[in-house]
Amino acid sequence: MKLSNLSNWITVGANVGVLIGLAILILELNQNTRIAQTSAYQELVTQIVELNKLEASNPELAEIIYRGHLDASALTPVETRRMINMTRVIYRQGDLGYYQFVTGLISEDRMVSTLGPIRAWLLTDIGKQGWDSMRPNFTGDYIDYVENMMAGMEPDSPFWK
């Protein structure tokens, strides 16, 4: 009888140990998820900061971007190419933000905030030209998201129709 009671207590103790282990595992998984979410968002913000620093530290590029946003037709072919390449980088960064949102790494609010540069560029003719050249390289969901977002910002623009 005593051996049976001892066995029961050992079983109860083992089960409690398993439950404690599972609770600790769940806490660690939650912590790792938060760390991954924070890292994903931090990387997006770092990319935006780097793009801003690039423009701020390169007066020639800043001048090209300024003139390109005002009137893309005033740019030389080389300047137009530089602008379109900048646009491509910005749109890729937005694609990454959208992907991280879809996979649950960042919230929709965070994703929307990282699309700020895209919204600004897509309000310009050169930005639209860059979008046209990049559009086939993105997933349908991302294209739909961006184009619906822009149609809401520019409802009268034939570009988003």
The residue ranking higher by pLDDT, 101 or 39, is: 101
What pLDDT shows up at residue 1? 59
DSSP secondary structure letter of residue 159: G
How many helices, marked H, and strands, marked E, lie in the chain?
7, 0
Q: How far is CA 45 from CA 39, 42, 109, 114, 145, in A?
A: 10, 5, 13, 7, 20
Asked if 131 and 87 touch (Cβ cutoff 8 Å), the reply is yes
Residue 143 burial (CB count, 10 A): 17
pTM over 0.85: no
- In the predicted model, is pLDDT for residue 3 greater than 80? no
% of the chain surpassing 90 pLDDT? 27
Between the alpha carbon of residue 44 and those of residues 6, 22, 93, 101, the distances in Å are 57, 33, 7, 12
pLDDT at 151: 94
